[in-house]
Amino acid sequence: MLNNTIYDFALVNSILEDAYKKNNAPSVTLIASLKKTPYHILISTIISLRTKDEVTLKSSMRLFEVADSLESLNETDEKIIAQLIYPCGFYKTKAGNMKKIAGIILNTYNGIIPDEIDELLKLPGVGRKTANLVLILGYNKPGICVDTHVHRISNRLGWVQTKKPEQTEFKLRELLPPEYWRSINDYMVSYGQTVCTPLSPHCSLCKLSDFCQKNDVLKYR
């Protein structure tokens, strides 16, 4: 029988928040605190895909030293963009997508990054994670950003039973009160990097362990 404590969202959020304060914020959140524009959120989130946080931060800041706006990004050679964001994952593909995005937004959206998820999803290389982060951090709009950490932890806790991050997002939209939407990504990303890791999570250190369902956890520490 499922322990109803797991649905005490205020408690879970508080535990995750306490752990979050002891660690560094995810790279895109750090960049958002420094740059604070939809452009910087969009580009740094694209860089972050399949890339470690420390690489994302350094790659993003190198790029922004050269291309700190859509206009300057559009004028920067694609090979230069690739060199600046290396060694992030799929750096050549991402450089090509960024170049295309700059042209599309300047020509189709009058240089204004869309603030609607359906429009953001039309941009090359932009999925729901990226689109939601642009809305949340760039426009202060409600959204739930689900990456591998949020997807994994939500399933382990027993909040959802899903196979894909997109399915998790829609389930969490139904389940979570809106006041927790914005913070859930930051808190779970940090927790997933330090405690609830993909392999052999540190359940002995986890304050959620007593009521977590530990779904699909075969081995833990």
Each residue of 41-76: pLDDT tens digit? 999 999 999 999 999 999 999 999 999 999 999 999
Estimate to the nearest angstrom the gap between the alpha carbon of 127 and the chain centroid: 11
What six digits make up the tokens of 67? 């291309």
Alpha carbons 208 and 205: distance in angstroms, whole number: 9
Q: Is the dihedral of CA 175, 179, 182, 188 positive or negative?
A: negative
In Å, how far are 42, 44, 63, 95, 201 from 86, measured between CA atoms? 17, 13, 10, 10, 30
- For residue 24, what pLDDT is reported? 82
Cα separation, 106 vs 180, in Å, equals: 34
**Do 65 and 73 contact (CB within 8 A), yes or no?**
no
Say what the pLDDT of residue 34 is.
87
Give the chain's length.
221
Nearest CA to 43 out of 126, 148, 160 is that of: 126
- Lowest mean pLDDT of 27-41, 44-58, 170-184, name the range: 27-41
Categorize the per-residue pLDDT at 6 as very low, low, confident or very high, splitting at 50, 70 and 90.
confident
What amino acid occupies position 41? I
Residue 13 confidence (pLDDT) above 90: yes
- Note whether 19 and 195 are within 8 A (CB): yes
pLDDT band (50, 70, 90) for residue 33: confident
Residue 3's pLDDT is 61
CATH 1.10.10.10 matches 4-24+144-205: no
Is the previous residue joined to 87 through a cis bond, with omega within 30 degrees of 0?
yes
Q: What percent of the chain has pLDDT over 90?
A: 89
pLDDT tens, residue by residue, 80-96 = 999 999 999 999 999 99
Smallest CA-to-CA distance from 7 within 111, 163, 159 is with: 159
**b/e per residue 96-121 (b: at least 16 CB within 10 A):** bbbbebbeebeeeeeeebbeeeeebe
Could you state, in order of their start, the residue ranges of all structural domains in the chain? 4-24+144-205, 36-139
C-alpha distance from residue 215 to each of 61, 154, 219 (Å) = 38, 10, 11
Read off φ and ψ for residue 211, nearest 5 degrees: -120, 5
**Has domain 36-139 been given CATH number 3.40.50.300?**
no
